[in-house]
Amino acid sequence: MAVKRFSISFDADLATVVQRRADESSEAVSAWLAEAARRRVRQDEMLGAIQDFEHEHGAITERELGAAQRRLGLGAAGSQRQSA
């Protein structure tokens, strides 16, 4: 696998949290950050798919969202929904 190196900067508080989380998961900081980036990319792609669906079919209603969450065992809908 080809590797691309980055030089990144964080404020001190965030750097401390990142280091602690990487340590807690027994990962190098670069591996922990790579996984965080993968999750963000997947999240952005899922939100894009939802936006495409809503553009074609109209906004997903709270009722539809609640039904989907119940089917997935995620609890009730409501104010947890975030817009992209």
26's tokens: 């027994």
- What CA–CA distances, in Å, run from 43 to 29, 34, 37? 21, 14, 10
pLDDT digits (tens, 9 = 90+) for 19-57: 999 999 999 999 999 999 999 999 999 999 999 999 999
Q: Read off the pLDDT of residues 48-74 as tens digits, 9 standing for 90 and up.
A: 999 999 999 999 999 999 999 999 999
Output the pTM of the full model.
0.70
Looking at residue 15, its amino acid is A
Contact (Cβ atoms closer than 8 angstroms) between residue 16 and residue 29: no
